[in-house]
Structure 1
């Protein structure tokens, strides 16, 4: 349906651009699936509303390669001019942001902004012993990833007529330049102090879109600007795309299931645990997850549980903590710090998990070893007084505020202090204290 909308819009463009609106969206922070969905949906609405152009204001340190490529596809398939504006002052377009900027029909930067540092970080994070990859294999993978990124960014720059040599340096050498340098090197098209200045610059400009010239109105600043914010679903998706949030939900899910197992019949903790795990795995679908990390976290939890039952002199606790730390660190399958779980979250969560499991399991085992406090079994061990003489044939005792029939292997005179040692058919078997 979207392709049909874009196709008919491209046929009608010569008639649409004489009047209409301007769509403006803002992308701040890490580029993720929520970002690409937000931009794609916004562009579709812009086309339906006969927008004359689409302006993406951006300030990003980079993000996921898959989400970045989705945004670039949206740019290339846009039937109206797609403008990228790096703003406000102090903003940046780094890593994936460089690719998105180079793929636009027109690129502008606010004073005091910078663009560059697009060197890719190879997936397969961790490496070494626990990552299962040698340093040589990581070097080869890094070289392949770099070469692939270079060819991709050069193709973008050549398609949009920008400086392909600088684009390659941004990947290979992680170079970063200011707004003035970017204009001088023909990386971006202009510097604009604000959105109004940018609209003044864009008025009357002609772009080649799908092989056809598209000219923006001269009075572009007079057009209505529609600022579209992220919908609540996009915001929710953006939150769930955060690896720290996904990790916390994962651990909360384990807590809920663990509490349900140790306290059967509680229901609510188990249901909540399943819900948290579902949210966590939904988040992991949008992230490069190493499921060996999840397995290590589970293994660590099992070792901590065993520590309570087996005398290991702390070895199982050390092994459990190590497994959880390693599993948490390698959970996100990329060493890119932008999409890694924060160490400031991993360490407290692992320590709290260890304390939680050890304390809860100890309490459960202690409760299982304690004698029952209700029913006939609860009478065992209680003390009382013989109301009559107690023999093997019978008698009565006063126990726990009640009078019971009782028997004893040895005769006990009236008034003797007794202790219940067994209960059978509502008759207590007692002995002298």
Structure 2
């Protein structure tokens, strides 16, 4: 913030800061950057203010540190607004001292900003003939008919913008933790572990930029532990239900703690939806686990009963059959007629390394 404000004030070209579009908010550092401009404008239905200093994770500062930081920031904004009316200077200080915010109309009324413009064309029309105060002295702007050139963000900048979206960070964190737990519960593969590590790394970057309460991670980890435990020792969904509740609480504590700016908060409907979907996913897995426990044994000798195969030799009363991709010594079941080579047989019983068979379909 300080570097940007210093660059604006030191620029040899007038810099106009425009808060747009409708619904935008020049909050926190955005307030100071707006005031640093040689001229400031806002779109209708925008806001400015709430610039009280907080810690790197959104927490309140210690008393002495808070006082020092506030006084330094108030001195800074006073120097930026000294050309404005006393009411504007007072409002600028209040945005830092008491986190006061003002609408575009309120900011214009006291002279904190210079214009309210509907769009860029409207702003250029209003700026034409306006005089700004530069370090080298006053300068009059001539913006009528000016050609505008949009400077698009680079691919890297677009990617970083996406990675600092709290909703995207939340989704990456959810997918990453889930993938890691899947890898730990069923080791041997690498896809889920690799995917989880990538998602968690990207989420860590986003959380390093956003104001988050790291205590929320405890609830998220507990949630996924409950999901995994319910798979290993099914409790008919009780732990999964508790896990969904812990998941939602953890996400809200992590991203929506008191003091977190509104634009850095995660969507509540998204948190609830992802929590429910995650719980349903694990519920489905639990369902498969329960059915697998009730499924009859289909391996070993038990699994051979009822299987069909092909007679590789005549069986009268003994011979060889191929069943279950293996070659077995076979005897006719009691009371069954001889079986010719190539006919299909059905396994009746398994006696050691021998099968008792009969002609299939009998």
After TM superposition, list the pairs within 5 Å mapping 1:223-262 onto structure 2. Answer: 225-260=148-183
Q: 2:50 is matched with which residue?
A: 118
**Secondary structure of 1:405's aligned partner:** strand
Alignment CA distance shift 1:145-1:87 (3 Å): farther
Structure 1 position 108, deviation (Å) = 3.2
Equivalent in 277, 281, 285 of residue 356 of structure 1: 281
Q: Please list the CA deviations of residues 284-321 of structure 1 after superposition, one character each: whole Å capped at 9, or x if unmatched.
A: 22223334323322221121221233364654234322
For residues 167-224 of structure 1, the C-alpha deviation after alignment (integer angstroms, 9 at most, x for no partner) is 2333427352544x53453322455672322441346x4412xxxx155466554765
Shift in alpha-carbon separation, 1:233–1:327, aligned structure 2, 3 A: same
> Do the aligned residues in 2 keep the contact of 1:247 with 1:341 (CA within 8 Å)?
yes
2:280 & 2:327 partners in 1: Cα distance? Answer: 46
Which residue of the partner structure matches residue 348 of structure 2? 419
Provide the C-alpha distance between the structure 2 equivalents of 1:299 and 1:251, rounded to a whole number of angstroms. 13
8 Å Cα contact 2:45/2:104 also seen in 1: yes
Partner of 1:339: 264
Deviation by residue 1:359-385 (Cα, 9 ceiling, x = unmatched): 2254357558867868x7685333579
Q: Is the 8 A contact 1:262 1:364 kept in 2?
A: no
Q: Is 1:169 the counterpart of 2:94 in the alignment?
A: yes
Greater RCO, 1 or 2 (C-alpha within 8 Å, sep 6+): 1
- Whether the aligned pair in 2 keeps the contact of 1:262 and 1:361 (CA below 8 Å) is no
Residue number among 260, 263, 274 corresponding to 2:197 in the alignment: 274
CA distance in 2 between partners of 1:325 and 1:218 (Å):
53
Gap regions ≥5 residues in structure 1: 1-67, 127-137, 390-394
Q: 1: CA distance between counterparts of 2:236 and 2:322?
A: 44
* 1:21-80 superposed Cα distances (whole Å, 9 cap, x missing partner): xxxxxxxxxxxxxxxxxxxxxxxxxxxxxxxxxxxxxxxxxxxxxxx5564354345454
1:366 and 1:145 map into 2 onto residues whose CA distance is: 60
- 1:381: which partner in 2? 305
Q: Distance in 2 between matches of 1:288 and 1:264?
A: 34
Structure 2 counterparts to residues 26-105 of structure 1, below 5 A: 68=1, 71-76=4-9, 78-87=11-20, 93-105=26-38
- Contact 1:380/1:422 (8 A) holds in 2: no
Q: What TM-score, normalized to structure 2?
A: 0.71
1:16 paired residue number = none
Q: Which residue of 2 aligns with 1:21?
A: none
Say whether residues 1:404 and 2:328 are aligned partners: yes
2:128 to 184, 193, 200: 200
Q: Judging changes above 3 Å, is the alpha-carbon distance between structure 1 residues 340 and 87 closer, same or farther for their aligned structure 2 residues?
A: closer
Q: What per-residue deviation string (whole Å, max 9, x for no partner) do you get for residues 68-94 of structure 1? A: 556435434545433213356776544
Mark the runs of 5 or more structure 2 residues left unpaired by the alignment: 338-345
Query: Are the aligned partners of 2:321 and 2:329 in contact in 1 as well (CA < 8 Å)?
Result: no
Between the two proteins, the alignment pairs up a number of residues equal to: 334
Inter-CA distance 367–115: structure 2 relative to 1 (3 Å threshold):
closer
| Corresponding residue for residue 232 of structure 2 | 309
Per the normalisation by structure 1, the TM-score is 0.61
